[in-house]
Chain A
Amino acid sequence: DAGVTQSPTHLIKTRGQQVTLRCSPKSGHDTVSWYQQALGQGPQFIFQYYEEEERQRGNFPDRFSGHQFPNYSSELNVNALLLGDSALYLCASSLGPSLKKTQYFGPGTRLLVL
């Protein structure tokens, strides 16, 4: 049973550039959430996709956008990168978006902005 996979594992960008991160959910899962984890901190919720629509959004600027495809995989796009965007980006999947649904996390993509 394949778990949540993310690509790439590491990425280095410079300020002002744009980046796209990818996520494939656990087999059978239809809901994908994205989190940002700065060094030494807990993950912060960015947004959640279900049925190819953004269902919830955390306190992140519009520079952060996403997409969900018909096969439930998802992309996270960040435009106009800032130094403060350097973090581990985690994708999590669940079976449905409702309360009590456990989220399973991928290994993350570590983004460094220079």
Chain B
Amino acid sequence: GDSVTQMEGPVTLSEEAFLTINCTYTATGYPSLFWYVQYPGEGLQLLLKATKADDKGSNKGFEATYRKETTSFHLEKGSVQVSDSAVYFCALSGETSGSRLTFGEGTQLTVNP
């Protein structure tokens, strides 16, 4: 079945550092890929998405590229801020699962001033 694997956390960075959170997936065909962010005590917010191979999703300085050849969708940001501290979830919806989402375990990011 479908699955998502994220890099183990937590991740702690200084402000203005470069961020990479790795995400790889297993799914048949061409799933849609998503990054969601969860701030403390809140629900999930869509950060960015990509629906076909080689698409790049971007939002608020975050980027991720859908790499079919490596089954990856790594999240990157060139310069993180304290306000980016949150839990980040990689997710997919598979070709046979409609809009149903399969999530990774999440990566806790803490950015220190």
Q: Interface on A for B, CB 8 Å cutoff?
A: 4, 6, 31, 33, 35, 40-45, 48, 55-56, 58, 90, 92, 94, 96-108
**What is the bound-complex CA distance between A6 and B43, given in angstroms?**
10
Q: Are B106 and A103 in contact (CB under 8 A)?
A: no
- When distances are taken between beta carbons in the complex, the residues of chain B under 8 Å from A35 are 101
- When distances are taken between beta carbons in the complex, the residues of chain A under 8 Å from B31 are 99
- When distances are taken between beta carbons in the complex, the residues of chain B under 8 Å from A33 are 99-101
Tell me if B44 counts as interface (CB < 8 A to partner A). yes
Q: Are A100 and B103 in contact (CB under 8 A)?
A: no
User: How far apart are B96's CB and chain A's nearest CB, in angstroms?
Assistant: 9
- When distances are taken between beta carbons in the complex, the residues of chain B under 8 Å from A106 are 43
Instruction: Give residues of chain B (11-42) contacting chain A, Cβ–Cβ below 8 Å.
Output: 31-32, 34, 36, 42
Q: Are B100 and A105 in contact (CB under 8 A)?
A: no
Assess A107 versus B98: contact at CB under 8 Å? Given A42-B89, A42-B104, A43-B103.
no
Q: Are A56 and B105 in contact (CB under 8 A)?
A: no
- When distances are taken between beta carbons in the complex, the residues of chain B under 8 Å from A105 are 36, 43-46
**What is the bound-complex CA distance between A101 and B36, given in angstroms?**
14
**What is the bound-complex CA distance between A33 and B45, given in angstroms?**
15
Could you list 5 examples of A-B contacts with CB < 8 Å?
A4-B43, A33-B99, A45-B101, A90-B43, A97-B98
User: How far apart are A73's CB and chain B's nearest CB, in angstroms?
Assistant: 17
Nearest residue (CB) in B for A9 is: B41
Partner of B44, one of A44, A90, A100: A90
**What is the bound-complex CA distance between A104 and B43, given in angstroms?**
10
Q: Are B32 and A104 in contact (CB under 8 A)?
A: no
Q: Are B44 and A43 in contact (CB under 8 A)?
A: yes
Query: Could you say which of A42, A45, A107 has the most chain B C-beta atoms within 10 Å of its C-beta?
Result: A42
Assess A56 versus B97: contact at CB under 8 Å? Given A41-B106, A42-B103.
yes
